[in-house]
Amino acid sequence: MEQQTNRNGRIPFRNYLKRKWRLYAMLILPAFVVALFQYVPLAGLSIAFQDFNPDKGFLGSDWVGMKWFRIIFQMPDFPLLLRNTVVIAVGKIVLGQIISIAFALLLNEITRPIYKRMIQTITYFPHFLSWVIIGGIFTDMLSSKGLINQFLGLFNIKPIFFLGSNQWFQSTMILLDLWKEFGWGAIIYLAAIININPELYEAAVIDGASKWKSIWHITLPGISSIVVMMGILSIGNILNAGFEQVLVMYNPAVYQTGDILDTFIYRQGLLDAQYSLSTALGLFKSLIALALTLTANHFATKYTNYRVF
């Protein structure tokens, strides 16, 4: 196609627009939606620096600088909230990865397709249930007379208050999240295992390697880059302890170990209408997450073949 070009070798903008305006037209509505529902709330973060009063609005409220941040950092509960959040989140990330990898390795050795398929179908399913449903199932099962305590009773273990005692709440949150996600989390590793060259295994068998050895020396190194990538990327989630899960399952008796940043933000902000305090805490959390995510992406791009865009 012969085209008129200007001295930069590009088609003049007007001719270009004549041909390509439709691309921009398609973007108008999505851009508007993003501007309204993403950038306006982003600007709304300014209420973290105000004494926000809903009657006066964003523009009329008094500016108070860093007041709310000072208050947050002096709150006696703040270190506790941070600790609960990080403990639950890190527990989920670390154990979740380990179990998913182990599950993928074990599943890969199953040679009967029907059995493999059945296991996958059943273990992926909890991923698709909401925390309301899972909360409903397990609040009953974990109660002092529920199925799990009945089972433990067979071994003469006294009933455990999984959801009502500070001793157990965090582990229960982590275990339930593992239960929900271990199967689904294994998919990415299974996909990586499939890409390993089968000749490596054949050679290993000829050399007399056992199953265990070929997993250790072929499969694991074969998926190591994806393991590293997933590990790096999960750093951004270090303050995400699972808002919906905790909100569904916690109660005032376990606030000491179960209250996380997100649930505190929710209670302060929406139940007690402490808009500014709550937004400031949310902003604190977002900024840390942003820094972590950017660092993680940087390293993931540098050391693995991960590309965001």
Partner 1 sequence: MRKKIRFTTGDRIFLIIDYIILTIAMLTCLLPMLHVIALSFSDSVSASTNSVLFLPKGFNTLAYKTMFSNPIFFNSFLVSIVRTVVGTAANMILTVMAAYPLSKEDSELRGRKWISLFFIIPMLIGGGLIPNYLLVKDLGLMDTLWALILPGCLPIGNMVMMMNFFRGISKSLFESAEIDGANDFVILFCIALPLSLASIATLTLFQVVGHWNEWFGATIYINNRNLWPLQTLLHVMLTSIDYNSFSAENLSQLRLLSDRSFRGAMIVFATVPILCIYPFMQKYFVSGITIGSVKE
Q: Given the complex with partner 1, which of 138 and 170 has the nearer CB atom? A: 138
Cβ at position 178, least distance to partner 1 in Å: 10
Residue 93 or 306: the one with the smaller Cβ distance to partner 1 is 306
Continuous H helices in the chain: 13-34, 40-44, 57-60, 67-74, 78-109, 113-124, 131-141, 147-153, 169-185, 187-194, 198-206, 211-214, 220-233, 243-249, 255-258, 261-266, 275-303
Nearer Cβ to partner 1, position 91 or 282?
282
- Whose Cβ is closer to partner 1: residue 66's or residue 270's? 270
Smallest separation (angstroms) from partner 1 to the CB of 158: 16
Those residues with Cβ within 8 angstroms of residue 30's Cβ, 6 or more apart along the chain or in another chain: none
Q: Considering the complex, what minimum distance in angstroms separates the CB of residue 63 from partner 1?
A: 16
DSSP codes of every residue in 195-240: TS-HHHHHHHHHTT--HHHHIIIIIHHHHHHHHHHHHHHGGGGTT-
CA distances to 83, 188, 240, 274, 291 from 295, in Å: 22, 22, 17, 32, 6
Q: Which is nearer to partner 1, 245 or 257 (CB)?
A: 245
Q: How far is the CB of 74 from partner 1 (least distance, A)?
A: 21
Q: How far is the CB of 2 from partner 1 (least distance, A)?
A: 12
